[in-house]
Amino acid sequence: MGKYHADIRDINFNLFDVLKIQRLKQFGLEENDYKGIIEEYNKFVENEIFPSREPSDVHGVKMVNGNVKVAPELHTLQKNFHDNGWFALGFDADIGGTPVPEALYTSCMSLATGANCAWMMYPGLSRAAMNVIRLKGSDFMKTHIMPKMMSGEWGGTMCLTEPGAGSDVGALKSTAKPIAGGKYAIKGTKIFISSGESDLYSNNIHLVLARTPEGGEGTKGISLFVVPRFKVNDDGSLGGNNNVQCSKIEHKMGIHASATCEMQFGQTGETEGWLIGDEFEGMSTMFIMMNEARLYCGIQGESQANLAYLMADQYVRERVQFGKELIHHPDIRRNLFRMRAMSRGMRALCMYTADLFDKVHETGDHKYEGLIGLLTPICKAYCSEQGFQVAVEALQAHGGYGYCTEYGVEQFVRDTKIATIYEGTNGIQAIDFVMRKILKDGGKAITALSGEIIASVGSLDEAVFKKEKDLFGKVLMSAQATMQHLSGLAQKNQFNLVLQHCTDFLQFASQMVVAWRLMESAKIAQTKLSAATGDEKKYLESKIVDFKTYCAHYLIHNLSISKTITDYGDDVTALEL
């Protein structure tokens, strides 16, 4: 097993040099306080989370006498995570949290996720469920349920998918019938429920999508319910069995430590739940969790890519072949530069997006909300896809050892893959991106973003970045042509043609955005370079190289991707398959 590594310098550069989170005075903390938090958090990741990664993968999740048991390591880890206050990080103080800038919270969560993605899904889902309860829950939920989740006694889940309703959530069949006390009887089967059941928690709080008697077909007839595994008495104490059962644990390619459950509600007796949010507003209420979960999928790719890259970096510095360390072989060295540029590029994107949440509060400017909407599918799809590909490259850099479980790198390949699928497949993300975030938006958000990128490219120093400036200029022109092409198709109602190009255009736009974020970093690094020495100078130079590498190996493909869309887009629905 390779050692744990973290590129704290790059995280700090993003936080303090690029995003300047020290500007956010409402948290009452200074730059050094934030750096201290990251340092302490990272120690916890290195000493407690990373060591659990491989054993909890090997152990997996087991059904013992009808109860779901996770790896023993995870019990200690989970307890220490809460006891050390790390679960509370990023929550508001009024519920016992430690509020910090969103980008800082995201950096910490990324370190934890990279080190054991499968385990991190337990606290991650609890957090997402808590956020729904905070925003939409009743006083009872806030008083008697949320604190138990905050302390780690109870966990949370989101229950959307059913056997016949995957991407098509609106096809779900679960029902919710009003019963006494303003409650509902929930009945149905949910599948692929992460953290659906486990012995990490004494109770699970399921957020379940179901249809009330008046709920019509499709997504518009769906409402959201809070459904505990064990009933919660009026005084908040644990009540009796609520007839919620895990009927099956899925065997999966990866994230073995995460319990992916088939859940039965109301099959062995009545299952009680409470409506949360308004009736028929289930989808929009659930989207509070979904958007968070989608960004988090991006982090799953980004974080594991960054750790996999650093483990590959360690390996190629140690392994000698043909009389020198692998890192000195040009082909291997090229691959490492590619992996670094991509991993750091994804980090820059995810942290930038996280910071936009603070910008919304800071400025009240709606444009940041539009930008978050636009960047959510990019973070989700691009970082999960490319995070997987970096994991594959990291495995490859290890040669035969990488294919063996012993070095721990093949686990990244198996674990990252899920992020391209759940919380809306990457195909669904691409459709959301083009159809809703661009076309339905009337191009507002993307035009604003493009304007910013154009200005930024315009001020790029030609003396250092001549080739990159030329390339980016061409990419921006092809971006305009491609968007005109797509909106032209939409105006002619040729939506099949638009739909078949969504995946390509999402990749195009993602690479433009990641290149832009790396460019911003490179510019800042350049301004600081003359005053820097030693390791700091090497680090700043690496930021310039990252941008150049990304241009040469990724952004450059935008020139051909745009041609696929505009010049070679035969209508696939008109062709026999």
Under rule CB under 8 A, which residues in 317-346 are in contact with a copy of itself? Answer: 320-323, 327-337, 340
Q: Determine the Cα–Cα distance for residues 260 and 193; give it in Å rounded to an integer.
A: 5
Question: Does 500 interact with a copy of itself (rule: CB under 8 A)?
Answer: yes
**How many Å apart are CA 266 and CA 243, to the nearest integer?**
6
- Cβ at position 76, least distance to a copy of itself in Å: 25
343 and 349 Cβ atoms separated by less than 8 Å: no
257 to 276: interface string for a copy of itself, x by CB under 8 A = ---x----------------
Among 101, 123, 166, 282, interactor with a copy of itself by CB under 8 A: 166
Helix (H), strand (E) at residue 361: helix 330-363
Least distance in angstroms from the C-beta of 171 to a copy of itself? 7
Between 256 and 523, name the residue whose CB sits nearer to a copy of itself: 256
Residue with Cβ nearer a copy of itself (272 or 410): 410
**Residue span binding a copy of itself (CB under 8 A) among the ranges 251-259, 272-280, 517-525, 526-534:** 251-259
Cα(513)–Cα(450) distance, integer angstroms: 9
Count of residues interacting with a copy of itself (CB under 8 A): 88
The stretch near a copy of itself (CB under 8 A) out of 19-27, 286-294, 298-306, 405-413 is 405-413
Q: Least distance to a copy of itself from the beta carbon of 399, Å?
A: 5
Q: Which is nearer to a copy of itself, 95 or 559 (CB)?
A: 559
Structure tokens at 274: 């409470």
Active-site residue, 423 included: yes
Residue 221 to residues 185, 207, 224, 281, 286, Cα–Cα distance (Å): 17, 16, 10, 8, 13
Closest approach, Cβ 372 to a copy of itself, in A, equals 24
* CB of residue 96 to a copy of itself, shortest distance in Å: 35
What residues contact residue 154 under an 8 Å CB cut-off, 6+ apart? Answer: 126, 145, 148, 201, 202, 203, 204, 205, 228
Beta bridge partners of 273: 184
Strands 203-211 vs 154-159: parallel, antiparallel or unpaired: parallel
Only one of the segments 201-209, 250-258, 277-285, 476-484 lies at the binding site for a copy of itself (rule: CB under 8 A); that segment is 250-258
On whether the CB atoms of residues 211 and 222 are closer than 8 A, the answer is yes
Count the Cβ atoms, other than its own, within 10 Å of residue 414. 18
Torsion of CA 353, 357, 362, 364, to 10 degrees: 110
Alpha helical stretches, state H, 26-182: 31-44, 50-59, 72-83, 102-115, 117-136, 139-140, 146-150
CB atoms within 10 A of CB 451: 10
Judged by CB under 8 A, the residue of 253, 269, 361, 447 near a copy of itself is 253
Which residue is listed with tokens 């809460």? 82
- The length of the chain is 577
Residue 18, Cα to own-chain centre: how many angstroms? 21
With contacts defined by CB under 8 A, name the span among 69-77, 163-171, 200-208, 516-524 that binds a copy of itself: 163-171
Nearest to 277 by CA among 232, 222, 345: 222
Phi-psi region of 524 (alpha: psi -120 to 50; beta: other; left: phi over 0): alpha
Two tokens at 171?
A: 């096809």
- 205 counts as binding a copy of itself under rule CB under 8 A: no
The CB-of-529 to a copy of itself minimum distance in angstroms stands at 13
| Residue 396 binds a copy of itself, judged by CB under 8 A | yes
- Residue 215, classed as helix, strand or coil, is coil
Asked if 205 and 149 count as a contact pair (C-beta separation under 8 A), the reply is yes
* Matching residue, tokens 């159809």: 435
- When asked if residue 482 is in the footprint of a copy of itself (CB under 8 A), the reply is no
Tell me, residue by residue from 177 to 196, as one string, x for binding to a copy of itself by CB under 8 A and - for no binding: --------------xx----
Token representation of residue 216: 């019509």
Smallest distance from a copy of itself to CB 249, Å:
10
CB contact set of 463 (below 8 Å; sequence gap of 6+) = none
Of the two residues 363 and 496, which places its CB atom closer to a copy of itself in the complex? 496
Q: Smaller CB distance to a copy of itself: residue 444 or 563?
A: 563
> Which CB atom, from 63 or from 421, has the smaller least distance to a copy of itself?
421
Which position among 393, 423, 468, 520 bears the catalytic label? 423
Footprint on residues 415-454 left by a copy of itself (CB under 8 A)? 417-418, 420-422, 425-427, 430-431
Q: Decide whether 265 or 550 has the Cβ nearer to a copy of itself.
A: 550
In angstroms, what is the minimal distance from the CB of 538 to a copy of itself? 5
The region of 82-90, 350-358, 442-450, 535-543 touching a copy of itself under the rule CB under 8 A is: 535-543
Residue 283 exposed, middle or buried by CB count within 10 Å (0-12, 13-18, 19+):
buried
Our finding on whether 171 is near a copy of itself (CB under 8 A) is yes
Instruction: Return the number of the residue (185 or 431) whose C-beta is nearest a copy of itself.
Output: 431
Which listed residue (33, 404, 527, 536) binds a copy of itself by CB under 8 A? 404
Choose which of 29, 413, 445, 525 interacts with a copy of itself (CB under 8 A).
Answer: 413
Picking from 259, 285, 240, the residue whose alpha carbon sits closest to that of residue 62 is: 259
* φ/ψ (deg, to 5) at 429: -60, -40
When the beta carbons of 232 and 255 are compared against a copy of itself, the nearer one is 255
Question: In this structure, is the dihedral angle defined by the CA atoms of residues 205, 207, 208 and 214, taken in order, positive or negative?
Answer: positive
User: Smallest distance, Å, CB 544 to a copy of itself?
Assistant: 10
Which residues, numbered 69-98, are part of the site for a copy of itself (CB under 8 A)?
none
Please identify which residue in 445, 497, 514, 518 interacts with a copy of itself, judged by CB under 8 A.
497
Nearer to a copy of itself, 161 or 353 (CB): 161
In the range 537-556, which residues lie near a copy of itself by CB under 8 A? 538, 541-542, 545, 548, 551-553, 556
Q: Which of 36, 72, 85, 164 binds a copy of itself (CB under 8 A)?
A: 164
Which of 286, 447, 257 is closest to 370 using CA atoms?
447
Q: Which residues are tagged catalytic?
A: 423
